[in-house]
A and B are shown apart, each in its own frame.
Chain A
Amino acid sequence: MSAAVICRNVSAGYRQQPVLHDISLTIQAGQMVALLGPNGAGKSTLLRVLTGLQPLTGGEVELFGRDLRQLRATERARLVAVVPQEVTTPMAFTVAELVALGRSVPRGRWAALAAADRQAIEQALAYTDTLELRDRYYSELSGGEKQRAIIAMALAQEPQLLLLDEPTSHLDINHRLEVLQLLERLNRERGLTVVMTSHDLNLAAEFFPQLALLNHGRITAVGAPAEVLREDVLEEAYHCKLAVRRDATGLLMILPTRTATAPTGKRVHVICGGGSGVEVLRRLCLAGWQVSCGALNQGDTDAQTAAALGIATALEKPFSPLSDGALAAASQLAQAADVIVVCEVLFGPGNVKNLDVARQAGKPILLNTRQVAARDFTSQREVPALLSALVERGATPWEQVGDLLIALEKVK
């Protein structure tokens, strides 16, 4: 493999403000690389450096073995094409006319190349599925169609390297996918080297085998998605809590974790299970409550959520009825809390004793009363009576999470 791009100790910047510091990066021909990083990290500047728009203040850039500064404008345009975020023109070009602009600069002697030009334009239209758009006005296209037309224009240059500056940031999710699949196809079928800046970590992880992370004008990580998209690496760059997960299909997912804005200093104990507490737990954490929950079986959806949110939980072994030990732990948590919330959980012989924990703690109780009978799987059908008794002793009934949060405001 030969190198498409070599940056050696590249520095660049605007007047007195350096943006890139000592960047060294090699991109092999045929690779697909995404440049990631927070706003102002220098992603776009790095792209501008590669196209000769941004003068270097230090170091050197090689494109396909040739010093960028030695390349003439026409030679550069044959090696590198660029797709910006957005291209506007006041002129009423049709798509075919716009794509033909990829051949703006003559490539040799006059007539001989006209045929080659036409062929390049036709191929570019075909590859990007814009053949049927060819007679439409560019300005009348949708965002995704526009971006495909611009990619076609870039392809008409017949470049070996395609640079894209956040080409999907103005697009909705289906058009994003469309553009990225097109890039993938161009990379596979034509061996086109693709370098794209992106803010979308998830899409970058899915479509790009190689990632480079920039922060404060330096490259802080390079490699496969699993190497770059690590919580510690990302948190340093983005200055926020991030969770990196793999979903059911093995896809990497990067999610920002919201942090509570104003801690209330109050504690709440949540009785839940089977997924009934997921939303409640998250919303309570966000609202600034100190949350505990239990007792729950290990492996329960709510137990996983509680672990992810860092919530103190009284745990029982998987698929076992709640033991006295787990209930005692739950009692402790409940007694330490200022208020107890009972979610829309199913009750059976295994977990009904959680209601005793709630009653015995002697704290205000917020009790979900939705479809109680349908949630009762105890042998004696005792749950409706137990809940009614709690309400008679002063528990506040609630049905929707929104109502619960309002009721909690009053307790505060």
Chain B
Amino acid sequence: MNTHHKRWPVWPLLLAVPLVCAGALLAGAAGLPDWQTPLGRAVLELRLHRILTGLVVGAGLAGAGVVMQALLRNPLAEPYVLGVSSGAGLGAAMAVFFGWNVLHLWAVPAAAFVTGIVTLTVVYFLAARGGGASIYGLLLSGIIVSAVLSNLLMLIVSLAPAEGMHSILWWILGNLQLSAQPLLMTGGALVLGSLVILTVLGAQLNALTLGRETAHHLGVRTGLMIAGCLALATLLAATSVALAGLIGFVGLIVPHAARAWVGPDHRKLPAVAAVIGGLFLVICDTVARTIVAPQEIPIGVVTALVGGPFFLALLLRRRKGGWIE
């Protein structure tokens, strides 16, 4: 029996951040642009913006995934399962469809954020009907609400005029270039703040993975913790969707990778998952804009194509102990 457990140190990940970012900055259709020319500076600034967005959005999605997998005690839980992402996506699509996006810079992200939160609230109260929200209740109502919202989104897509449809489609597929500078700063602050709070609550999240009653016995105020952590996870997911549209797979696979790296300790997991998620998105985005340059493919396609096989490999390797790392 294997009694020696691989729990890797965190520093190689931290070391990888500047390396990956530098690589992403240098790679591109135009090669290394000339720093001296205004055009070159613009290209570099654009790439830097995408890198920062990638780090923030990846961290947000991965952090949300970590929390939801812990709270729902389910390996397939992620922002999509509770309908947060589809809710936020629907909000963004509505903003584009009704032309609010021309009225104000914040219209689309604000709509995404509000509908994300509203969706989770609806899901939570559907599940909590007559008592505390059970895990199964949350999963069930989340999946149903999510399915309804996805189809509403499809309805809007089919009704949208040609140019609006194109912009909604970009939202659905995800894009790191969508967000404006002040949005990115606000989003980054929200993601960072949520991750810090989650790290402080990490030990209690650990306890909650033993189930609600056992966590109660260990002194956790479970109702407060579950509601609070779900709210934080929603904040993370909705912020990410507001910044970059719907990017799948990150919230699902990055938490698995993070647990494989440092074990299931939630005092480290939010931060580690955030770093891995950020790196993953930066790499995927670099691939998306270089692989068929000068054409660009949607980043959601890349995360799915990379993430799918990666997830399968992870499952097969860890199969012995169920989904457990």
Chain A interface residues toward B at CB < 8 A: 51-53, 73-74, 76-78, 80-82, 84, 87-94, 97, 101-106, 135-137, 139-140, 153-154, 157
Contacts of A104 in B (CB 8 A): 203-204, 206-207, 215, 218-220
Taking the complex as formed, is B137 at the interface, i.e. its CB lies under 8 A from any CB of chain A? no
Taking the complex as formed, is B4 at the interface, i.e. its CB lies under 8 A from any CB of chain A? yes
Taking the complex as formed, is B263 at the interface, i.e. its CB lies under 8 A from any CB of chain A? yes
Q: Are the CB atoms of A73 and B221 closer together than 8 Å? A: yes
Q: Are the CB atoms of A94 and B5 closer together than 8 Å? A: yes
Contacts of B209 in A (CB 8 A): 89-91
Please, how many angstroms separate the alpha-carbon atoms of A140 and B3 in the complex? 10
Taking the complex as formed, is B73 at the interface, i.e. its CB lies under 8 A from any CB of chain A? yes
Taking the complex as formed, is B75 at the interface, i.e. its CB lies under 8 A from any CB of chain A? yes
- B73, B216, B217: which contacts A89 (Cβ < 8 A)? B73
Q: Are the CB atoms of B211 and A88 closer together than 8 Å? A: yes
Q: Are the CB atoms of B324 and A73 closer together than 8 Å? A: no
Taking the complex as formed, is B264 at the interface, i.e. its CB lies under 8 A from any CB of chain A? yes
Q: Can you name 9 extra interface pairs (CB under 8 A) apart from A90-B209, A154-B217?
A: A74-B219, A76-B219, A91-B206, A91-B264, A91-B325, A93-B264, A105-B218, A135-B4, A153-B218
Contacts of A154 in B (CB 8 A): 217
The 5 closest A-B pairs by CB, nearest first: A77-B219, A91-B264, A105-B219, A104-B207, A82-B217
Give the residues from 165 to 220 in chain B that come closer than 8 angstroms, CB to CB, to chain A: 203-204, 206-207, 209-211, 213-220
Distance (whole angstroms) from the CB of B25 to the closest CB of chain A = 37
**Contacts A97-B265, A135-B3, A139-B321 hold; do A90 and B73 have CB atoms under 8 A apart?**
yes
Please, how many angstroms separate the alpha-carbon atoms of A51 and B3 in the complex? 35
Q: Are the CB atoms of B216 and A101 closer together than 8 Å? A: no
Contacts of A153 in B (CB 8 A): 218
Q: Are the CB atoms of B324 and A90 closer together than 8 Å? A: yes
Give the residues from 1 to 59 in chain B that come closer than 8 angstroms, CB to CB, to chain A: 1, 3-5
Please, how many angstroms separate the alpha-carbon atoms of A82 and B13 in the complex? 39
Q: Are the CB atoms of B264 and A97 closer together than 8 Å? A: yes
Contacts of B210 in A (CB 8 A): 87-89, 101
Q: Are the CB atoms of A137 and B206 closer together than 8 Å? A: no
Q: Are the CB atoms of A92 and B211 closer together than 8 Å? A: no
Contacts of B213 in A (CB 8 A): 53, 84
Number of A-B contacts (CB under 8 A): 97
Please, how many angstroms separate the alpha-carbon atoms of A115 and B263 in the complex? 22
Which residue of chain B lies nearest to A83 when distances are taken between CB atoms in the complex? B217
Q: Are the CB atoms of B324 and A102 closer together than 8 Å? A: no
Give the residues from 269 to 325 in chain B that come closer than 8 angstroms, CB to CB, to chain A: 321-325
Chain B interface residues toward A at CB < 8 A: 1, 3-5, 70, 73-75, 203-204, 206-207, 209-211, 213-221, 259, 263-265, 321-325
Q: Which of A78, A89, A90, A136 has the most CB of B within 10 A?
A: A90
Distance (whole angstroms) from the CB of A150 to the closest CB of chain B = 9
Contacts of A52 in B (CB 8 A): 216
Q: Are the CB atoms of A137 and B324 closer together than 8 Å? A: yes
Contacts of A90 in B (CB 8 A): 73-75, 209, 322-324
Q: Are the CB atoms of A140 and B1 closer together than 8 Å? A: yes
Q: Which of A87, A88, A101 has the most CB of B within 10 A?
A: A101
Please, how many angstroms separate the alpha-carbon atoms of A135 and B2 in the complex? 9
Please, how many angstroms separate the alpha-carbon atoms of A80 and B325 in the complex? 31
Q: 6 A-B pairs, CB-CB below 8 angstroms?
A: A77-B219, A78-B219, A84-B214, A89-B209, A91-B264, A105-B203
Contacts of B323 in A (CB 8 A): 90
Distance (whole angstroms) from the CB of A54 to the closest CB of chain B = 11
Please, how many angstroms separate the alpha-carbon atoms of A106 and B207 in the complex? 12
Please, how many angstroms separate the alpha-carbon atoms of A154 and B204 in the complex? 15
Which residue of chain A lies nearest to B318 when distances are taken between CB atoms in the complex? A92
Which residue of chain B lies nearest to A77 when distances are taken between CB atoms in the complex? B219
Which residue of chain B lies nearest to A90 when distances are taken between CB atoms in the complex? B73
Which residue of chain B lies nearest to A82 when distances are taken between CB atoms in the complex? B217
Contacts of B218 in A (CB 8 A): 77, 101-102, 104-105, 153, 157
Q: Are the CB atoms of A81 and B217 closer together than 8 Å? A: yes
Please, how many angstroms separate the alpha-carbon atoms of A93 and B267 in the complex? 13
- B207, B219, B221, B324: which contacts A139 (Cβ < 8 A)? B324
Distance (whole angstroms) from the CB of B264 to the closest CB of chain A = 4
Contacts of B219 in A (CB 8 A): 73-74, 76-78, 104-105, 157
Contacts of A140 in B (CB 8 A): 1, 321
Please, how many angstroms separate the alpha-carbon atoms of A135 and B209 in the complex? 19
Contacts of A91 in B (CB 8 A): 70, 206, 209, 259, 264, 324-325
Contacts of B264 in A (CB 8 A): 91-93, 97
Q: Are the CB atoms of B73 and A73 closer together than 8 Å? A: no
- A51, A97, A157: which contacts B216 (Cβ < 8 A)? A51
Q: Are the CB atoms of A136 and B324 closer together than 8 Å? A: no
Contacts of A74 in B (CB 8 A): 219
Please, how many angstroms separate the alpha-carbon atoms of A102 and B1 in the complex? 26
Please, how many angstroms separate the alpha-carbon atoms of A110 and B293 in the complex? 52
Contacts of B215 in A (CB 8 A): 104
Contacts of B74 in A (CB 8 A): 90
Contacts of A84 in B (CB 8 A): 213-214
Q: Which of A91, A94, A103 has the most CB of B within 10 A?
A: A91
**Contacts A90-B74, A136-B3 hold; do A77 and B217 have CB atoms under 8 A apart?**
yes
Q: Are the CB atoms of B220 and A105 closer together than 8 Å? A: yes
Distance (whole angstroms) from the CB of A286 to the closest CB of chain B = 43
Q: Are the CB atoms of A92 and B259 closer together than 8 Å? A: yes
Which residue of chain B lies nearest to A94 when distances are taken between CB atoms in the complex? B5
Contacts of B325 in A (CB 8 A): 91-92
Q: Are the CB atoms of B216 and A87 closer together than 8 Å? A: no
Q: Which of B4, B74, B218, B264 has the most CB of A within 10 A?
A: B218
Contacts of A157 in B (CB 8 A): 218-219
**Contacts A53-B216, A104-B203 hold; do A136 and B4 have CB atoms under 8 A apart?**
no
Contacts of B75 in A (CB 8 A): 90
**Contacts A91-B324, A93-B264, A104-B206 hold; do A136 and B1 have CB atoms under 8 A apart?**
yes
